[in-house]
Chain A
Amino acid sequence: MRTNNSNLLEMDAGSKPGIVVRRRWQQSTLTFLMVFGPGLIVMEADNDAGAVSTYVQAGGQYGLHLLWILLLLLPITYFVQEMVARLGIATGKGHAAMIYERFGKWWGRFSLFDLLAVNFLTLITEFAAISLALSAMGVSPSISVPLSAGGLILMVITGSYLRWERTVIVLCLLDLAWFVLAGLVHPSWGIVARNGFVPHFPPGRISSDLIFLIIAIVGTTIAPWQLFFQQSCVAEKRLRFADLKWARLDTLIGATFTVLVAGAMMIVGNYGREHGIVFEDPAQMARAMAPFAGHFMRNAILLMMVNAAVLGTTAISLASAWAYGEVRGWPHSLHKKLWEAPGFYAVYIGCVGTAAAIVLIPRMPLQLVIISVQVFAGLILPSAIIFLQLLLNDHALLGDRWVNRPWNNWINWSIIVVLFALSLLLAAQVMLPRLFN
């Protein structure tokens, strides 16, 4: 059914679903908006509490000298996640299920166990950040942590993927506040541009601390759960072959936005450094900034820390629940009601609830958790990315249309080699610290 004098026509009341439009650009825009979501969410959720801490710390220790690394990471994250989106669209299945089916039970179980372990440990750090940030605002952890866990559970049990997606997109867009904060500290934009585009190291000796901070930035920007999350999310949204170009654009926008937000975090960290603040976490920095930057800045940083942790928690828990559900053959979809997919929701609720409960344990050894995250991530990232690359070269599964082109393979193998080396170095630094002293 079409109206006479409108370019954008309403929903057809007849049997055919969809919206009728008159112009091709309207069709493209609308299709893009319908496909938009998984790419932005997977990228922005990666700017989780750990990432805020790493980027702010990078700015706090080395000023704006490491901004260029973010620009370098933009194409890397895009290429990796583009492969994930392509595989998800081509197969309509999640990454864990594909590893199980094509590489056998041993590799399947190894990947699943490792993913669940690293995700769970990361969730503990997310809740620790929520507790830390809201404590700095005067809210007791015994209130803030259960309340956030409850909210995170409510977000997914509505039985609607689209409701969850829209809520999370709004949370992602809240990260625009980092640009406001970066603007409020009045950096020299010329220096920001120079540090962003010209690769260089901070003045002075290149220390092992600097090298490991750079590795941490890389590790923060490319996380193992992202591979599993986006493929499952694309399958959940039932993206079609024709949607691939829009899924690619979604991924590119997500990657660009994430890198820009990360840059804004470094600028805020640099502001703390310029005022002689020495800090170990963003909450400490926010509190120390209040006397000269004002309470708005302090509260905004603390709230953005909470937002980052909430985003990370929902995406990471869903990555676990989807992966486990796929492998067990359970119904695993946000389209289903709680009682229609009990196992899937139990994994999500179990992960969120247990991680929140652990954070409330007095004198919880958070440092041990952080070290374990790095070790497990060192195991799972190279494995997951190797499987991804091999699956994208699987002609029997994907046919000639969806497999990697030779140029894809060159780029991806180069990324894999670099990630292997960095993961190994990071794990070695954690487990054999004496080697680097």
Chain B
Amino acid sequence: MNKRILSTACFGMLAACLTQAAIAKDLTVISFGGASQEAQAKAYYEPFTKATGINIIPVAYNGEMAKIKAMVEAGKPTWDVVEVESPELLRGCEEGLFEKLDYGKIGDKKDFIPGSVSDCGIGIFVWSVVLAYNADLVKGTPASWADFWDVKKYPGKRGLRKGAKYTLEIALLADGVPPAEIYKVLATKAGVERAFKKLDQIKPNIQWWEAGAQPPQLLASGDLVMSSAYNGRIDAAQKEGKNLKIVWNGSIYDVDSWAIPKGDPKSAEAYQYIAFASKPENQKVFSGFIAYGPTNTKAVSLIDPKRADVLPTAPANLKGAFAIDIPFWVDRGEELEQRFNTWAAAN
């Protein structure tokens, strides 16, 4: 009897040790899902596991900071590396949701493009919000957001992201505000009015999307003829043979970054992963799978020039494009999102 108890206990302990070991070798990496995460799996997750033996558990989210906040407040985050957009990164850094990064463990700051290196995050890739359209359904070639508003010339439903961010900028662009002055105009009360007034014009024609994977689906299915979309998602759909086209004029670009939730017990492995994913040769592979620009300047020269042409970082694509104003959205985001909700909910 005693022997059996002993052996059970031993076995139990062994099992416990084994699961402990298994947990130690897992790293939970959070991204925005869809084609972007698939590309990350091929360019980062799989090679990283092969190189280090650390298994990656991929999780998708839509950028909500609530879970991270709850985890950090509870003291033991189970998310180890998180892909975040710039405004969330800045806010989360100030509010102590993310670790201050030790660049000694990642790489030389000088190797990265300006704007992709900050206290709590290091850039993964440059992405753009572009005008995309289904070339089978649209007759002619729309060239700007003003054409997006022209429902007579290009009839059909349009897609925009459900939220104030990007939407207000796009409305002002369509109303003829030059890219360089967008945030100057949007900072004034009259500018906000102007943006909403412009949106009123096509409100009945808009179908709102929330996840980045939606626009290419809705465009391909014919539910939408035009939509704002993340350029990489459209590129991925083009590769699948969908006849979708991108208008680079008036695109808005930003950097997504890796961040480590504060108090992460596996921060050593998290650093290992971030360093791996920041290497030029790995970023080059990523840009091959999805059309997002690398943040490591050394990766740029590695990329095939033909491929480089479809990235947001290509000089031709940057014409008429502008960077999202992060401090603006950190400051005004809450008020404008509330205003947007009020506007969108009204008939």
Q: Do A and B bind each other?
A: no
Interface residues of A (CB under 8 A from B): none
Interface residues of B (CB under 8 A from A): none
